[in-house]
Amino acid sequence: MVKLFLTLLSTTAMQGAWAQKAPAPKEITLNQKSVAELVLKQGPKTMEVNLKYQQFRLEPVKTLSAYDWQLLVETGFEYDKTVGLLSNSNQAADVKYERYKTTASLKKPFTTGTVLGLELSRLSQKAEAEGITSNPPIPEQTADLAGLTLEQSLLGNFFGVADRGVVNAAELNYQANNIARANELEEVVLEAIRQFWNTYVSQENFKEAVNSRDRYKKLVDAVKRKTSLGYSNPGDLPQVQAEFETREQKVKTASTDYLANLENLLTLLALEPGTEIKFEVPKDIPAVPKLVEKKVEDLRSIRSQKLKVEAAQESLDAAQSLSYPTLNFVGKVYTSGADESAENSYSELASGTHPKYYAGLKFAYNFGSDIQNETVINRKLTKDLEQTRLTRELSEAQNSEAQAQRKVQAAYAIALSTEKQKGFREKASQELNRSYNQGRTDISVLITAMNNFFDSEVQYSRAVGDYAIALNEWAAARDELIPDDSASSEYNK
């Protein structure tokens, strides 16, 4: 690997200066498994996916927040010397009241369409009268009040049908997004594996370009010797020298492509720039694995879409329930106490000797815009849309798995064929090289053979990479590249 980088530098002087100033690059060995683990652990795209889907956690919590406990406490002081319509206006003008008010209420809505409430209040009043002898006000008084309230939906949102529909829809959509997140992570891993193989292939192409240039350098030297001895044909040396320049150009192009792929791979894996990578790849081409049939209904994309259909149905049920007028049962029970002493007022409250009861119905109906009916239509369209998507995705998932399998089989056959082709090209190049040295072959035939040999080496590396990528794409189509438990563990870190 170090030799490859040194080849890219222009002069040995620059190489020496670079080696003295720059620290030794870090080194890491990568294979398909380590690439998948690294991109899931620290890849920036993995972090983006996880952060994006963590934002969806708010929606179900936001929906449930409508059923939080609601505590309200208010306390304060009131000074009152207002004039009232009393029989004795002088009394009204000469009485001032100081009141301390405290109220507290606790309310809890439930998804059964029920709202329970508890109310407590205390009013303490102090009165001062100036110059009043007849019917003076009581100096101090305390009044306590406690009550329980109940409100139950009977028609619109019948016993919480709409409430439960909204809550269930939010939870189902969250579950669907969670499953979809695993699929996005799988795409990130697949992209990293593709980049791994593309980088490896570009490295091999760079090596082969250097080897090809070296072979042409030897051929140029051999032709020069033959030319000096008068054994070469006219035009042999210029042809070989021209091809040598072509190989020089190939080295530059291959090096640029390799470094670009290497930098992209380091970025995907969040590795430090300049890290030296050693590729650990199988030496032999593995055979196509035999896998058990995968039920399309078990795929994550299908399970996610099914949850979206269920969520849309829940939203439709909620909208239909809310389209009716509101009719609620209301019940209230209160007990109170009042006395000059706060203790006696509370005792009277607790005794329940002054109860108050209320039972009734509350009716409400909004009309004019027809928003209820349009909401139902909208929710039904959404449900039909999600159902249509499910039908389409079922067919696409079946096609994708079959196409991925065929692609693997074709890539395997191509890899084996290019391996044989490379051997034949190499043998032809060697034989024609010997024939040329014996003066029995034209230089153009040898050049063609050598170029074909180089091309076959490049094609072989590409075919091996394409086969490995096809295998991973097949695994991704079957949701086997990233198991559900692996995706969940990375998400919960």
pLDDT tens digit string along 54-93?
Answer: 999 999 999 999 999 999 999 999 998 877 655 454 444 5
* pLDDT at residue 85, as a whole number: 57
Q: How far apart are CA 149 and CA 76, in angstroms?
A: 24
Calpha distance 478→404 (Å, rounded): 9
Would you say residue 287 has pLDDT above 70? yes
What is the C-alpha separation between 62 and 53, in angstroms, rounded? 16
Residue 161 placed within a domain = no
Claim to verify: residue 267 and residue 226 sit in the same structural domain? yes
Tell me: do 75 and 55 sit in the same domain: no
Residue 313 lies in a domain: no
Residue 15 has pLDDT above 70, yes or no: no
CA gap 281, 289 in Å, rounded? 17
Question: Considering the domain boundaries, does residue 9 fall inside one?
Answer: no
Q: Which among 26-30, 169-173, 478-482 has the top mean pLDDT? A: 169-173
Give residue-wise pLDDT tens across range 293-349: 889 999 999 999 999 999 999 999 999 999 999 999 999 999 999 888 888 888 888
The number of distinct structural domains making up the chain is 2
Residue 29: inside a domain: yes
Instruction: Look at residue 143 and tell me if it is in a domain.
Output: yes
Q: Which tens digit of pLDDT belongs to each residue from 173-227?
A: 999 999 999 999 999 999 999 999 999 999 999 999 999 999 999 999 989 998 8
Q: Which domain holds residue 190?
A: 24-59+168-307+383-491
297 and 207: one domain? yes
Same-domain check for residues 300 and 413: yes
The residues, ordered by sequence, that sit 6+ positions from 128 with a Cβ below 8 Å of its Cβ are 95, 96, 98, 139
Give the tens place of pLDDT for each residue, 85-127: 554 544 445 788 889 999 999 999 999 999 999 999 999 999 8
Q: Vertex 446, ends 442 and 451: CA angle to 5°? A: 145
Distances from the Cα of 14 to the Cαs of 20, 260, 481, in angstroms? 10, 21, 45
User: Do both 209 and 298 map to the same domain?
Assistant: yes
**Mean pLDDT value across the chain:** 88
Q: Is the pTM of this model over 0.95?
A: no
Q: Report the interhelical angle of 44-54 vs 484-491 (nearest 10°).
A: 80
The pLDDT-based confidence of 136 (bands split at 50, 70, 90) is: low
Which one, of 198, 194, 201, lies nearest residue 460 by Cα? 201
Write down the pLDDT at residue 14. Answer: 36
342 and 301 in a common domain: no
Closest to 107 in 3D by CA, of 158, 144, 72, 61: 72
Residue 360: predicted pLDDT: 96
Query: Does 100 lie in the same domain as 194?
Result: no
Cβ count near 9 (within 10 Å): 14
Say whether both 43 and 93 belong to one domain: no
Task: Output the pLDDT for position 1.
Answer: 40
Residue 341 is predicted with a pLDDT of 84
**Model confidence pLDDT, tens digit, residues 223-247:** 999 888 888 788 889 999 999 999 9
CATH number (domain holding residue 28): 1.20.1600.10
CA 91 to chain centre: 74
Q: Does 190 share its domain with 285?
A: yes
